[in-house]
Structure 1
Amino acid sequence: MRKTILLPLVALVALAAAAPPARAADQPPVPGRAAGAEMHLTPQMQGCLDQIKATTDRGKGAFEAIVMVDDGCIALLRDNAEFRSYINTRLTYAMHRDEARQWRKDQQSVVGAYMVIWVLTAGFVGLLWMRQRKVKGELARLRADLDRATKDDGP
């Protein structure tokens, strides 16, 4: 009986420990442009791009970065549709990448929580098993005492 309980328990713990960690999703290419094609950026466009990147590096959201740039960049974004599309594509990609990173982090937390639940459940089952063995031993001792007491009372 001991092996029938311990073997599944050991198998569950081994499976939980051997579970592969969540792997990073492959990053798709930036949509909207042919593979390898990059927009030619003027120095003013590059300056705007640097401002947006610096804002997002400080922890601001991707689209929140647009409102924190200077008026020259706002005018450039308003007047140049191709640059606006380029920035929109890059910021959308950055937002999706950040969301995917957060999702992976959340997924790893859920897997860890389930592992903890399984370990606690296995510990509880182990405690119940040990208690059951103790109760069976106590019953056997009481039966032996009862048999001894009934034998002694005989003629």
Structure 2
Amino acid sequence: MQSDHQRELMKLDGKHQAELIRKEAEHPQETTRLKNRIAWQNHLIGCLSFLLLKTSDIFRKAVNGIIRLAKDYYKPRFDTEQVSDIKSALNLFGDDRQSNRAAGDFLYFTARQKGEFDNREQIKARREVDNVVEGQYDQQQKKGLSMRR
């Protein structure tokens, strides 16, 4: 009885080992495929960003405002004009929340790519663009609060 059990375990172990070897062989191929797909998507987004930067003053002003904020170590928030530029660029992509989020991501991605941000700058830019998209700047202006933190 015990030997039958051991044979069954060894048989299962052999099947699992074969499956593991097969999966390990597939893993690098899948990783390469996904990396290529991401690189292709980044290239397409980069091309679209380039076209918009060249053709749209609104988009260019918004991206440059994001870069200026991220690069300025002592400036914690967007000023009113920069918020207005970003909102105008968001409105180019649509009026609903999902479109604004996608446009905010696109603006951030373009600014990050053009501005070559370090980690601190990436975090700062991402946070403040998200604040504009989510309406945090609107709420502070309605309450009459300063744009400072």
Rg: which structure is higher? 1
Greater RCO, 1 or 2 (C-alpha within 8 Å, sep 6+): 1
Higher helix proportion, which one? Answer: 2
Is TM-score (shorter-chain normalized) higher than 0.5?
A: no
Please, what TM-score do these two structures have when normalized by structure 2?
0.31
